[in-house]
Chain A
């Protein structure tokens, strides 16, 4: 089945530094990737839609200059958290319409736990 590989799974960084999270579709082409943020014991909040070859579309209230999204190829989308602060600590997950979607649902990465100290 469709697989989305997300790295790193965990990262700890200092305040003020930037962190890049990668999501790769391993056996299919993903022209679109969705990036979510999840706080402990809460649901997923859609942050932005990443589109290969064009600018990302951000949800209301999401700072595009803080959360830089690049969809470099048909198999790679990256989220860079710039000038990270402790309040950016969260669980970040990417997803892509899997092969056969929507019947087959969307495929999610395994998530990245970001801790900013």
Chain B
């Protein structure tokens, strides 16, 4: 399969709660990126974590990477209704020098006001 796995597929929480999404991948990677997509729109880059990093923060976002388990998680703290969107992880493979990104299946997040 071209894609990795993400879970959960859908997540519904109340405003103010934290949201955690997980991503697993299959091959060795150079980096892993998280993107956000509002319905019917393009993707917006959120954060990139390199293969030699274990944790990274950006505002209310926290990303972890475990290369031994080939998995990553995205935590959104103190969620807001505006965070409602689909979130995708994407990996750049070590074996590829083309810069191709392979996307996970995505998590649809709904934050209820």
CB distance from B24 to the nearest CB of A (A): 14
Q: Are A105 and B45 in contact (CB under 8 A)?
A: yes
Task: Name the B residues within 8 Å of A6 (CB-CB).
Answer: 42
CB distance from B43 to the nearest CB of A (A): 4
Q: Are B33 and A34 in contact (CB under 8 A)?
A: no
Q: Are A43 and B98 in contact (CB under 8 A)?
A: no
Task: Name the A residues within 8 Å of B43 (CB-CB).
Answer: 44, 93, 95, 108
Interfacial residues, chain B to chain A (CB-CB below 8 A): 2-3, 30-31, 33, 35, 40-48, 88, 92, 98-106, 108
Interfacial residues, chain A to chain B (CB-CB below 8 A): 4, 6, 32, 34, 36, 41-46, 49, 57, 59, 91, 93, 95, 97-98, 101-111, 113
A-B pairs under 8 A by CB, number: 70
The answer to whether residues A91 and B105 also contact, given A46-B100, A102-B30, A107-B45 and a CB cut-off of 8 A, is no
Main secondary structure of the interface of A (DSSP, over half): strand
The residue of chain A having its C-beta at the shortest distance from the C-beta of B45 within the complex is: A105
CB distance from A52 to the nearest CB of B (A): 14
Task: Name the A residues within 8 Å of B35 (CB-CB).
Answer: 105, 108
Q: Are B2 and A45 in contact (CB under 8 A)?
A: yes
The answer to whether residues A110 and B33 also contact, given A32-B99, A45-B2 and a CB cut-off of 8 A, is no
Task: Name the B residues within 8 Å of A104 (CB-CB).
Answer: 45, 48
Q: Are A113 and B40 in contact (CB under 8 A)?
A: yes
Task: Name the B residues within 8 Å of A43 (CB-CB).
Answer: 3, 88, 103-106
Task: Name the B residues within 8 Å of A4 (CB-CB).
Answer: 42
